[in-house]
Amino acid sequence: MKLNNSTNNKKNIFTYWIIILFIIIFLIFPFVINAYWVDVFFFFGIYALLGLSLNVVLGEVGLFDLGHMGFMAIGAYTTAILNVNFGIPIIILIPISAIAAGAFAYLVCSPIIHLRGDYLCIVTIGMGEIIRLTLNNNPFGVTGGPNGVFGIDFPSLGNFFVIDNSAKFYYYIWIIVGLTIIGLVNLQHSRIGRAWNCIREDEVAAESTGIDVRFYKLLAFVLGAALAGVAGNVYATKLMMVSPESFNFMESCMLFCIVLIGGMGSIPGVLIGAAAISLFPEFFRTFAQYRMLIFGVAMVVMMVFRPGGIWPRKRGALQLKSILTKAGTENG
Amino acid sequence: MKIILEQLLNGLTIGSFYALIALGYSMVYGVMKLINFAHGDLFALGSYLGYTLLVFGSTYVTATLGIWGGMIAAMLIAAIGIGIAGTLIERIAYRPIYSVGRLPAVVSALGASIIIQNGIMVVWGPRPQAYPSQVVPSVMLNIGGIKITLLQIIILLISFMLMGLLYYIVQKTTFGAAIRACALDRSTAALMGINIETVIFFIFALGPALGGMAGVMVGMYYRKISFIMGWNYGLKAFTATILGGIGNIPGAMLGGLLLGVLEMLGSTYISTAYKDVFVFLILIVVLIFRPTGLLGEKVAEKV
């Protein structure tokens, strides 16, 4: 279904320019702000990547996942342990972290994927907590207990290109986010994306049209977990250490909020949600101890006035219109 | 053998806290199909209200009412205060968004939870507070070789009384029938002449009130309260709710007590560090074999 309507074309060009503008702003950003804010925007990037990964599970398929930080923890600890103990370069560990987190998601989610709604929600919470507590208890002496693992290398390509300062990390994370967005946008318009959305809208109908619901749900979990694993890798190399408390239940809840504040299943929405969650508390630092209080009020107010999120995804409107116009021209 | 029985008693004590909090989750979920994420923090707020009364009001309250009166007054104040807070949250954060599905309410509830948590931090300070030690005389009883404190007996008595009272209200009274009708089908219940607004009001007052009383009892039992404890207890109690079958009142009680006992036995016989892992593993195993919890009925999916 090609959209060759002229108004749509104009609109596309318009959004195209806006995207270019945003990219340019992002490129020059580290030159005009100080290192502190570059770091803040780095963590915005991490939250964006995590939000995108949760969006695959929650936004596209509608599976409640409140333990998503657990997958990130798997990725981060895989990176940390393999790098510190065996000296494997970070660049090789990116796919390994993704595979580890994805494989873990496959193993853990296979038996529970048939659970619905709130039951899935508590099981994922439980899973996230099990991961965090296990890491905290230092099994076999590899996770370092509550202190975590120290001394992770910077990501580098051989010896000549090392990502070792805030600005480089900033570009690094946003390039990963950019690539992820391109991949996910393509995925949204593919057979898989349509199957996911179909499951989200009506699971029974999806199953009756021949969609393998179990397979696609697992696929979403594995893909989401793999992306979270990549985020964990970047996070671990940026902080040069990992500790279990970074992956607590509160953080998983914040990811949930990123997706819902932005708008379920909407990629620009996830970016806005990530900005809201990561930048908002920074802007309100002047309020000191009232900061999180205001944050909570903002969350409630936000949901009361825009329950669909800031930038909700328009579902199927364009496709439907083009079918109708096509049918109209064919008949008349 | 003695150790098992003592640990069983300790487990029941902790389990009764979980059960009281779980009842709030379960009641709200049963009627509204909403997970009240702010419930754990309401529980913490109840604990702090009781603390304030016992510490700052001790000269007046304990002088006029005696030690027992002071304890009961603290629990009543916590119950009333938290009941009001619960209904307020419902009015402000949940009521405007009932019509737009369930997920926005989750964010709103998390927001409310952050507000309460940080509100406690702003008012009472970020450091943990210690409950006064002499609320209940520390008497150790020895029944057939099994050691039990007076406080534990009181906590178990009060908890079971409250649970029994709630069970009676929900199962035997007309108002309870209205609550159950709303849980089955809210719009049909409205057509049958049940005032849904009143039911919702009482659900959001009664559930948190029980949580608030549990808060005071946790304060007396552990003597240390902190503003973040709502998350831990809330998570455990929510687990208990799901374990028993969410939306099911006896299920919440059973789930809570079972969770407490399992946690205690797990920490005695397996490992203290892994006791929470053990609890969540049991939950997952139960849900794999009984996807709607221990006492949850199989709900036919609407097509």
The per-residue pLDDT for A325 is: 52
Q: In whole angstroms, what is the distance from residue B197 CA to residue B201 CA? A: 6
CB count, 10 Å around CB of A164? 12
Domain that holds residue B37: 2-289
Q: What percent of chain A has pLDDT over 70?
A: 89
The per-residue pLDDT for A330 is: 47
- Chain B residues with beta carbon closer than 8 angstroms to that of A125: 235, 238-239
Q: pLDDT tens, A71-121?
A: 999 999 999 888 888 888 888 888 999 999 999 999 988 888 887 777 888
Q: pLDDT tens, B159-201?
A: 999 999 999 998 899 999 999 898 888 888 889 889 988 899 9
The per-residue pLDDT for A1 is: 42
For residue B67, the distance in angstroms to the closest alpha carbon of chain A comes to 36
The per-residue pLDDT for A3 is: 46
**B268 in a domain, yes or no?**
yes
Q: pLDDT tens, A25-83?
A: 877 777 777 778 888 888 898 999 999 999 999 888 888 888 889 999 999 999 988 88
Q: pLDDT tens, A177-196?
A: 989 988 998 888 888 988 98
- Chain B residues with beta carbon closer than 8 angstroms to that of A118: 29, 35, 242, 246
The per-residue pLDDT for B84 is: 94
**B297 in a domain, yes or no?**
no
Q: Residue A162, SS3?
A: strand
Q: Which phi and psi angles does A193 have, rounded to 5°?
A: -60, -40
- Chain B residues with beta carbon closer than 8 angstroms to that of A261: 107
What's chain B's Rg over C-alpha atoms? 19
Q: Residue A242, SS3?
A: strand
Are B276 and A129 spatial neighbours (Cβ–Cβ below 8 Å)?
Answer: yes
Can you list the residues of chain B whose pLDDT is less than 70? 58-59, 61-67, 134-135, 297-303
Residue A312 pLDDT grade (very low, low, confident, very high; cuts 50, 70, 90)? confident
Task: Count how many Cα atoms sit within 13 Å of the Cα of residue A260 in the half-sphere of its side chain.
Answer: 29
Q: What percent of chain A has pLDDT over 90?
A: 16
Task: Count how many Cα atoms sit within 13 Å of the Cα of residue A184 in the half-sphere of its side chain.
Answer: 27
Check: complex ipTM more than 0.85: no
Q: Hey, are the CB atoms on A253 and B110 less than 8 Å from each other?
A: yes
Find, in chain B, the residue whose alpha carbon is nearest to that of A115.
B291
CB count, 10 Å around CB of A297? 18
The per-residue pLDDT for A328 is: 47
For residue B64, the distance in angstroms to the closest alpha carbon of chain A comes to 37
Q: In whole angstroms, what is the distance from residue A226 CA to residue A98 CA? A: 4
Model confidence, pTM:
0.84
More confident residue, B68 or A1: B68
The per-residue pLDDT for B41 is: 93
Are B258 and B6 spatial neighbours (Cβ–Cβ below 8 Å)?
Answer: no
- Chain A residues with beta carbon closer than 8 angstroms to that of B281: 126, 130
Task: Work out how many domains chain B is built from and give that number.
Answer: 1
CATH number for the domain that contains residue B271 = 1.10.3470
